[in-house]
Amino acid sequence: MTRLPIDRIRPCWSKGEKLGTTRRFVDRSSRSHALTYSPSADLLLNVSLLQTLTASWPESLIILIEHGYWLRVTLGAQLLGERAFKELSPGQISSLASNPDPLKNLDPDDRSSHLSKILIPRPPDTENNTQVKNYIASVMKRLDWGVEEDSFVSDTPYGPKRFTNVIATKDPDAPRRVIVAAHFDSKFFSSYPQNQFVGATDSAMPCALMLDLAEALDPLLNRRKEQLEEGLLEDEDVADTTLQLVFFDGEEAFKDWTDMDSVYGARHLAEKWTSTYLPPRSKRRLSTTTTELASIEHLILLDLLGAKDPRVQSFFLDTAWLFDALISSEQRLADSGALGLNVDVKGFKSFFVPRKDTLHNYGFISDDHVPFMQRGVSILHIITNPFPRVWHKLKDDASALDKDTMIRWNLIMRVFMSEYLGLEPDEKKGKLSRDNGDLIDLQVDIVMATRTKHARAAAPVRFAPEEIEDFDMGDVQDDDGVIDMISIMQEFQKKKNAKASTRSAAFQTKKNALISGARKEAETMAREGRAYIEQCKTRIDEMRAQETVTDEMMKDVMQLWSVHEDSFQALLSVYPELIEDLSPQRAQIVNAASAMLETHPLAREASRKRLMKNARKNMEAGIEAQKVV
């Protein structure tokens, strides 16, 4: 036994549990409770158990202990996947915020929008559910993403139901992926009018947002791929991570939220990916064959979004840095003015509840992420807490959605995912696209011309990079000061280009080293493959030899079988004659037996008389003998 520190323990409660259940969870109706736990506490854990549980995920593990509490123990100081993002410039943020229109696909009044196609009653195993599923798949196929449908049948309180998860992947061959997920089914109600529930926040809007996110980022992902192929990408490691969208079916409970009546699609997919191994087909996948589940960097789950004034908390310490990145994305959007003129930056109210310190997190909410969390996947749960007032009510329709809120969520996810994936949107030129960091400080001579004399004064002047390149030498006359200024700017541009060239050379060297390593790895795998093929050939030859011996034995068996067949046929041919011979013999025996039965009584009577006669004689002789005496 040894003593290991715990870095977190949090209460968990489900989306459907109510106060008074046997678990010690926070009441859903209170909508305000949150519990924290100090990391200074210790817990005794069996070392062999830890070694067993951490065999597939050495950084950390999750253990379910009594009273419904999840315990996560982190082994090692560095949290999984934490890294610094390269932030987008204000110009890039403005460009990303305006193209495409962030409201068009989320507008319930627009019949062509993604949201209007999803905003219908869609319980699992219904025609509407299939209609929404097909629409989601068609949008992703139109973008030329890899689309997979994970269909299965599971028992429910209302009998067997068919569920289908939709998985869309930008680059199926990528060695790593970050998942953005939501459930596309709506809650089942058995009677009217409750069965008209459409779940606008739960979770039609998150699904529509994901489709819009794919359309907004798809050109940037294509550009990143082109830059990688041309060797122009500074951070090639980021390009190994692709974007995957998962639309879960069957998140809602049919009756009461339990472990078996909830998250049907998530439970099935997590179990499937645990045992599904990836083929080493990617040129960039240098690691050993791994499972689908092990290739997930983070699962980002969206739920209950779209209503006004949401409050989102950080539920997991290992993804708190991603939560902070969301806050940063929102703040920079507000600072750039991209959230709209009706947003006052000074009175700006964030969607996110700031963490009190680096070791603080809020309570746990049961959702589609749980089956993945139980298997060691890192989770970022973006869900409003308290829940919207319209939760599981008919009023959770288009009227529950706030357009400004939906736009902000859309832009936050665009900026956040662009920075996560290392994407480079174009700069949007204009006042909003420039800040102090984009300008170049140059010390130049300003020529102050008058009719009578020339005076020179040294002053710091700032130019944007594109303004340097846009100078036209034809506009310059004989003014030495202007010529000097242009010369300085041209010299600066040369130094800048030389520096960029040096950096590109370093990246090219790194790229060549990786390619060389990959080539060696491929050669090693090829040698091992050839050796394995030779072993297979040897085994096949042995099996063929055994097959020859078996054929000879079968010939002997067939000969014996032929003799057996002949004997059997001979016996069958004799059988009728035996029947004919047996019938007369049987008649003779019966007649003899009958005659015997007739003669035996007479013989027995004669024998009895003889015995009686002899006995009488003996008795008379005895009597006479006694008289003489």
Please tell me whether residues 348 and 453 are part of one structural domain: no
Respond yes or no: is residue 303 known to be catalytic: yes
282 has a pLDDT exceeding 60:
no
Question: Where residue 198 falls among pLDDT bands split at 50, 70, 90?
Answer: very high
How confident is the model at residue 205, as a pLDDT?
Answer: 98
Residue 517 lies in a domain: no
pLDDT: which is higher, 523 or 462: 523
Residue 105 lies in a domain: yes
Sign of CA pseudo-dihedral 229, 231, 233, 238:
positive
Provide the 10 A C-beta neighbour count for residue 8. 21
Average pLDDT, the chain: 77
Please tell me whether residues 442 and 425 are part of one structural domain: no
CA distances from 144 to 1, 137, 170, 214, 285 (A): 54, 11, 8, 11, 22
Buried/exposed 47-79: b ≥16 CB within 10 Å, e otherwise: eeebeebeeebeebbbbeeeebbbbbbbeeeeb
pLDDT in tens, 98-145: 889 999 999 999 999 999 999 999 999 999 999 999 999 999 999 999
Question: Where residue 361 falls among pLDDT bands split at 50, 70, 90?
Answer: low
Residue 159 lies in a domain: yes
CA distance 171 to 148: 13
Please tell me whether residues 199 and 254 are part of one structural domain: yes
- Mean pLDDT is lowest, of 268-277, 490-499, 546-555, for 490-499
Residue 268 lies in a domain: yes
Domain that holds residue 470: 438-488
51 has a pLDDT exceeding 90:
no
How confident is the model at residue 555, as a pLDDT?
Answer: 78
pLDDT: which is higher, 419 or 58: 419
Please tell me whether residues 162 and 140 are part of one structural domain: yes
Q: Which residue has the tokens 């109510």?
A: 18
Distance of alpha carbon 254 from its chain centroid, rounded? 23
Question: Where residue 53 falls among pLDDT bands split at 50, 70, 90?
Answer: very low
Residue 415 lies in a domain: yes
How confident is the model at residue 594, as a pLDDT?
Answer: 73
How confident is the model at residue 359, as a pLDDT?
Answer: 63
How confident is the model at residue 479, as a pLDDT?
Answer: 55
pLDDT in tens, 59-107: 344 444 333 444 444 333 334 457 788 899 999 999 999 889 999 999 9
How confident is the model at residue 406, as a pLDDT?
Answer: 97
Secondary structure (DSSP) of 307-332: SSS--B----GGGHHHHHHHHHHHHH
CA distance 7 to 2: 16
How confident is the model at residue 356, as a pLDDT?
Answer: 79
Residues contacting 199, CB < 8 A, separation 6+: 122, 186, 187, 396
How confident is the model at residue 609, as a pLDDT?
Answer: 81
How confident is the model at residue 432, as a pLDDT?
Answer: 42
Residue 170 — φ and ψ, nearest 5°?
Answer: -65, -50
Domain harbouring 239, CATH code: 3.40.630.10
Residues contacting 355, CB < 8 A, separation 6+: 314, 320, 323, 324, 361
Last residue of a domain, one of 488, 509, 524: 488
Please tell me whether residues 360 and 470 are part of one structural domain: no
Q: Which residue has the tokens 């055994």?
A: 546
- Mean pLDDT is lowest, of 33-37, 184-188, 207-211, 292-296, for 33-37
Respond yes or no: is residue 251 known to be catalytic: yes
* Given 171, 240, 249, 303, the catalytic residue: 303
How confident is the model at residue 520, as a pLDDT?
Answer: 84
How confident is the model at residue 238, as a pLDDT?
Answer: 78
Please tell me whether residues 370 and 321 are part of one structural domain: yes
CA distance 294 to 371: 14
606 has a pLDDT exceeding 90:
no
Structural domains in the chain (count): 2
CA distance 213 to 468: 35
Question: Where residue 160 falls among pLDDT bands split at 50, 70, 90?
Answer: very high
Please tell me whether residues 417 and 450 are part of one structural domain: no
Average pLDDT of 205-225? 96
* Given 107, 185, 240, 251, the catalytic residue: 251
Last residue of a domain, one of 389, 406, 432: 432
164 has a pLDDT exceeding 50:
yes
52 has a pLDDT exceeding 70:
no
Average pLDDT of 322-350? 82
Question: Where residue 579 falls among pLDDT bands split at 50, 70, 90?
Answer: low
Please tell me whether residues 420 and 458 are part of one structural domain: no
- Mean pLDDT is lowest, of 49-53, 319-323, 436-440, 613-617, for 49-53
- Mean pLDDT is lowest, of 105-119, 194-208, 409-423, 496-510, for 496-510
The DSSP code for 384 is: B
Residue 545 lies in a domain: no
pLDDT: which is higher, 152 or 429: 152
How confident is the model at residue 342, as a pLDDT?
Answer: 55
Average pLDDT of 579-583? 66
Residues contacting 131, CB < 8 A, separation 6+: 120, 122
How confident is the model at residue 403, as a pLDDT?
Answer: 95
How confident is the model at residue 312, as a pLDDT?
Answer: 96
Provide the 10 A C-beta neighbour count for residue 620. 10
pTM: 0.61
The three-state secondary structure class of 301 is strand
pLDDT in tens, 386-412: 999 999 999 999 999 999 999 999 999
How confident is the model at residue 390, as a pLDDT?
Answer: 97
242 has a pLDDT exceeding 70:
yes
Task: Sort strands 296-303 and 440-449 into parallel, antiparallel or unpaired.
Answer: unpaired
Contact present, 88 and 419 (Cβ < 8 Å): yes
Please tell me whether residues 375 and 466 are part of one structural domain: no
- Mean pLDDT is lowest, of 247-261, 429-443, 561-575, for 429-443
How confident is the model at residue 574, as a pLDDT?
Answer: 67
Side chain identity at 515, as an amino acid letter?
I
How confident is the model at residue 501, as a pLDDT?
Answer: 65
**Selection from 94, 105, 100, 37 nearest residue 71 by Cα:** 37
32 has a pLDDT exceeding 50:
no
Contact present, 412 and 180 (Cβ < 8 Å): no
Please tell me whether residues 385 and 448 are part of one structural domain: no
Residue 601 lies in a domain: no
How confident is the model at residue 306, as a pLDDT?
Answer: 97
pLDDT: which is higher, 299 or 452: 299
Residue 145 — φ and ψ, nearest 5°?
Answer: -90, 155
How confident is the model at residue 547, as a pLDDT?
Answer: 77
458 has a pLDDT exceeding 60:
no
How confident is the model at residue 562, as a pLDDT?
Answer: 75
Distance of alpha carbon 22 from its chain centroid, rounded? 31
Please tell me whether residues 282 and 243 are part of one structural domain: yes
How confident is the model at residue 45, as a pLDDT?
Answer: 35
**Selection from 246, 237, 87 nearest residue 176 by Cα:** 237
Last residue of a domain, one of 405, 432, 459: 432
Residue 303 lies in a domain: yes
Please tell me whether residues 325 and 464 are part of one structural domain: no
